[in-house]
Structure 1
Amino acid sequence: MKLNFKCAVLLTAASLLGGCATTATTQKDMSDFRAHMPRSILVLPPVNDSLDIKAAYSVWSGVTVPIAEAGYYVFPMAVVDSMFKENGVHSGAEAQNIPAKKLQEIFGADAALYIRIKQYGASYQVLQSVSTVAAEAKLIDLKTGTLLWSGSKSLSQSSNNGDSGLIGALVGAVIDQVSNSLSDRSYPLANQVNMMMYTPTPSRPGTGLLYGPRSPQYQQDVPTK
C-alpha cells in the first residue's frame, strides 16, 4: 500500500513538473491586415483580469520591442500612459472603451493594439510553484474599425524540485513560492509571451504580426499567385 502511494505521488509529480507549456496556434487569414497595413501602432493599457496588480505594467512594458522590431512605429508607453492619466483615464478598461476614431484623432496612429491579461502570477501546487502569464490581443485599424489581427499566448514555468524527494519537493515549493512573491518571476515570462505573440512567423501566418513597412522583410511574406 505504501509502495503504491509512493508510485502515485511520483507519477503525479512527473506529470506536473516540467519546463514551459504554451498554447497551440493555427494559421489565419491575413488579407485584412495586408489591405490596411499600419505604419504606426498605439499600444493601449492592457485590461487586467488577473489578481496581480503588477500585471498590466509588466505586460505593457514589454510589448514595444517585438512590435518595433517587426517594422512598426510604436508610440512610447510613457507618453501614452501620461496622456491618458492627464485626461482622467486611469485603467486599461477605460482606455480601451474610447472610440477608435477618437484615439486616431488624439494620437494620429494607424492602428491600436488591445491587450487583455487573462492570467499573471505564481500559484502554489502540491509539489511545485507555477508562474503563468496568459494574454490575448487584437489589432484594430483606427480609421475603419477593421480587425486586422488577433492572437493569444499562454506560458507557464514550474519550479524544479523533482530530485529532492517528497519532503524536499514540498519545502522547495514553499520557498519558491515566497521567492516568486518577492521577485516577480512572471515578469520575464511576460516578455517571452510578448515576443512569441507578436514576432512575425512567415511560415505560420497568423501566429505573429506581419512584417511592417519599417522592416527590411516587409512584404516578403505576401503569398505568391
Structure 2
Amino acid sequence: MLNKLLRAGLLAAAALLAGCVAPPQKNVDYTAFRESKPASILVLPPLNTSVDVAASAAVLAQATLPLAESGYYVIPVGVMDETFKQNGLTSPDDIHELPAAKLREIFGADAALYMTVKQYGASYAVLASTVTVSIDAELLDLRNGAKLWSGTKQVVHANNNSGGGLLGMLVQAMVDQVVNTLSDRSYSVAGMTNNMLLSAGTAGGILYGPRSPRYETQ
C-alpha cells in the first residue's frame, strides 16, 4: 500500500512539475494589429472564474507594467477604476459588456485589454503543493471593435520535495501549502504570468508599441 501511494504521488508530482509553463502558442496573425497601430491601452478589470476572490485585483495590479515596458501608454488603473465607480460600474462582468465606442469616448484609448483569470491559488496534491495562475487575454481596437490579438498563459509554481523520504515529502508539501496560502505566493506567480503573457517580444505575444525603440521591428 505504501509503495502504491509513493508511486502515485511521484507520478502526480512529476506531472505537475512538467507542466510549469504552458507550451508556446501557435502562429498569431498580426495583420489587424499592424494596421491598427494602437498607441494607448485601457486595461479592464479581469473577469474571474477561479475560486479566489482576490484573483481579479491581483492580476489587474500587475498587468500595466509589461504593457508600458513594451512601448504603450496605459491608462492608470486608479483613473480607470474611479471613472467606472463614478458611473456606477463596479462589476467586471458589467464593464466588459460596455460597447467599444463608449470606452473610447470615455478614456480616449486606442485599444482595450480584456482578461479572464481562469485559475489562481495554491493547491495540495499528495506530495506537492503548487500555485497555479492561468490567464486568457484579448486586445480589441476601441475605434472599430476589431480583435487585434489574443493569448493565454498558465504558470505553475511547484516546490521540489524530492528529499527526506515519503514522510518528509508529505510534511514538506503540507508546510508549503500553508506558506503558499499565508504569504500569498499566488500574487507573485500572477506577476510572472502577466509578464510572460503581455510582454512584447515573446512567442505569440503582443507587438512592440510606439514608445519602444523596437517599434515596428517585428
Q: Same fold (TM over 0.5)?
A: yes
Which deviations, in whole Å up to 9, do the C-alpha atoms of 1:94-131 show, x marking residues without a partner? 11111110000011111000000000000111111110
Number of the residue aligned with 1:162: 162
Number of the residue aligned with 1:92: 92
Letter in 2 for 1:111: A
Q: Retained in 1: the 8 A contact 2:13–2:128?
A: no
The answer to whether 1:209 aligns with 2:194 is: no
Give the unaligned 5+ runs of structure 1. Answer: none
Q: Secondary structure at the match of 1:18?
A: helix
What is the CA–CA distance in structure 2 between the aligned matches of 1:54 and 1:7, rounded to whole Å? 34
Q: Secondary structure at the match of 2:20?
A: strand
Number of the residue aligned with 1:118: 118
What is the CA–CA distance in structure 1 between the aligned matches of 2:200 and 2:26, rounded to whole Å? 14
What is the CA–CA distance in structure 1 between the aligned matches of 2:5 and 2:111, rounded to whole Å? 56
Number of the residue aligned with 1:23: 22
Question: Aligned-pair distance for 1:164?
Answer: 1.9
CA RMSD of aligned residues (A): 1.8
What is the CA–CA distance in structure 2 between the aligned matches of 1:132 and 1:10, rounded to whole Å? 18
Number of the residue aligned with 1:49: 49
Alignment of 1:1-225 (within 5 A): 5=4, 8-9=7-8, 11-12=10-11, 15-16=14-15, 18=17, 21-24=20-23, 25-201=25-201, 204=203, 207-221=204-218
Q: Secondary structure at the match of 1:219?
A: coil
TM-score by length of 1: 0.90
Give the unaligned 5+ runs of structure 2. Answer: none
Letter in 2 for 1:96: H
Question: Any runs of at least 4 consecutive aligned residues in structure 1 with deviations exceeding 6 A, and if so which?
Answer: none
Give aligned-pair identity as a percent: 48
Question: Aligned in 2, Cα 1:117/1:6: closer, same or farther, shift over 3 Å?
Answer: closer
Question: Aligned in 2, Cα 1:166/1:142: closer, same or farther, shift over 3 Å?
Answer: same
What is the CA–CA distance in structure 2 between the aligned matches of 1:133 and 1:140, rounded to whole Å? 23
Work out the number of aligned pairs and report it.
217
What is the CA–CA distance in structure 2 between the aligned matches of 1:145 and 1:54, rounded to whole Å? 29
What is the CA–CA distance in structure 2 between the aligned matches of 1:21 and 1:181, rounded to whole Å? 19
Question: Aligned in 2, Cα 1:105/1:171: closer, same or farther, shift over 3 Å?
Answer: same
TM-score by length of 2: 0.93
What is the CA–CA distance in structure 2 between the aligned matches of 1:168 and 1:16, rounded to whole Å? 20
Question: Aligned-pair distance for 1:86?
Answer: 2.0
Q: Secondary structure at the match of 1:93?
A: helix
Question: Aligned-pair distance for 1:41?
Answer: 0.3
Question: Aligned in 2, Cα 1:26/1:130: closer, same or farther, shift over 3 Å?
Answer: same
